[in-house]
Amino acid sequence: MVDEELLKILVCPQSHQSLVPASPDILSRINSAISKGTLTNKKGTVVTESLQEGLVTKDGSVIYPVHEDIPVMLIDESISLADAS
C-alpha cells in the first residue's frame, strides 16, 4: 500500500491532478482487460501483469500502476480507464 504521506504529494505528471487509490471495482475492470490481452498503456505496449494496486486521477480517467508499494508515475506506463471496459 502506498504511504499516506507520499500519496498527499503525488500528482499525475501529465494533468497535475491529485491521485487516489484504485477501488476494487476499478482493479477488477483493469485486470479483466489485462487477462483478455486487450489493454495497452499510454506507450501502446500491451499490459500483461495484473494490478494489485493502482493510483487513479481525481477525474477517474487514468490509472498509474503500483508495483511492490512503489507507484510507477511515468506517463508512458499510465493506462486509460476508458480502455478497460
The Cα–Cα gap between 73 and 85 comes to 23
| Coil, helix or strand at residue 77 | helix
Report residue 2's pLDDT band, with 50, 70 and 90 as the boundaries.
Answer: confident
Q: What's the predicted TM-score (pTM) here?
A: 0.94
Position 20, amino acid: V
Q: What pLDDT sits at residue 84?
A: 87
**HSE-up of 53 (CA within 13 Å, CB side)?**
13
11-65: per-residue pLDDT in tens?
999 999 999 999 999 999 999 999 999 999 999 999 999 999 999 999 999 999 9
Q: Is the pLDDT of residue 85 over 80?
A: no
